Amino acid sequence: MRRLGFLCAALLAVPPAGAAEIWSRGDARLVIGGELQGTYGPDDHGFFNYSDYGHSLLRQARLGLSAEVRASEQLAVLVDVQSENLEVPHVYALYLRVRPFAGRRFDLQAGRVPPVFGRFARSGYGGDNPLIGTPLAYQYLTTVRPDAVPNGAEGLLAVKGSGWYVGWNDDYESYAAGLPIVAARRWDTGVQGSFATDRVRVSAAVTQGTLGNPRFHDDNDGKQVQARVHWRISPDLAVGVSGARGAYLASEVQQTLPAEVRERSFHQRAAGVDVEYGRGHWLWRAEAVWTAWDAGARTAPLYDEDLKARAVSVEGRYRLWPGVHVAARVDRLDFGDITGPAGPEPWEAAVWRLEAGAGYQLTRALSLKAIYQHNRRDGGFVHENDLYAVQASWWF
């Protein structure tokens, strides 16, 4: 509550302003901006909205500072540093952008780069998100871990619905959060290229981590390849198709596996389709993501199977009048079967979410949102809950 009070005081005490150009000379310039955001809701005892252990997206204070240092039209460095809940700041983005051909929309980027895969991870944060919550594919924590494996299918099935705090054999010091399908709140490290026309944009990247586990340092001598094609069919309609494949299991963990599978590569593979349609006061978005992790386990049969998941999200936003909107999103996350002691059954507990709310843009830089969220899960400590949250965001 103290942190919320501090945040609200800051929002009200400082007059809003736009991103500021601090210095310029010819094509060179320095631009600095930021965002101060506070979200407050009740404790999520079901951990439906946790992005990692100890961090609920419905109860969070966040400060972000960004800068663009441009040497010329062809060369720039971009950086984004963020602090959550007044903790030590971390580098969200830091990359070099090169545009080698004047007059052509082709660029190369290297460092901690923007995501290629999917729609929400690329643009679904800040003012572009009409609600407060995050689609399940981009936030919900499964029981897959890159740094630990269960003792066969029985061990994995025993922890269904506890992705916020996953471990085995009652060794609680080794427990940690599992992976989402796509980690929207963290960017990966690598190189990326994109080319765009008025209607089509093609992007591809090679990165250190995977969709669910972006990394700065490589932990398995593997790389991820991801690509996306975005097609603006008409001014009202756009479609995107994405794909990714990368090694997710740490080399240190692989050395603990049975000899017959120890030298395998354990990958996360994913595909996605997204559609956006807007006309008049309406904006509709839908996205589907399919993924499969090669199962890592110390005993058969699990290490011969895939851990499959499918997420579908549909949202709509309606602008009542300038600065005011209402919105709703429906999410479903399902999981494939594995061979358990009692026969085939889903390896994780299916999740369903409904979120609805409204937003008000007080000024160009200050906005308020309020939402109601209902979550339901086929397992875990809490099977169902109802949550409310409010959020204030200020851009400067």
pLDDT for 54 equals 78
**Mean pLDDT (whole number) for 239-258:** 94
**Separation in Å, CA 46 to CA 85, 249, 382, 391:** 20, 27, 5, 21
- Domains in the chain with CATH codes: 105-395 (2.40.160)
5 pLDDT higher than 50: no
What pLDDT score was predicted for residue 1? 40
Torsion angle defined by CA atoms of residues 98, 104, 106 and 109, in that order, rounded to the nearest 10 degrees = 20
Number of residues in the chain: 396
| Region 175-201 average pLDDT | 94
Q: In this structure, which amino acid lies at residue 364?
A: R
pLDDT digits (tens, 9 = 90+) for 325-334: 999 999 999 9
pTM: 0.91
Express as a percent the part of the chain with pLDDT over 70: 94
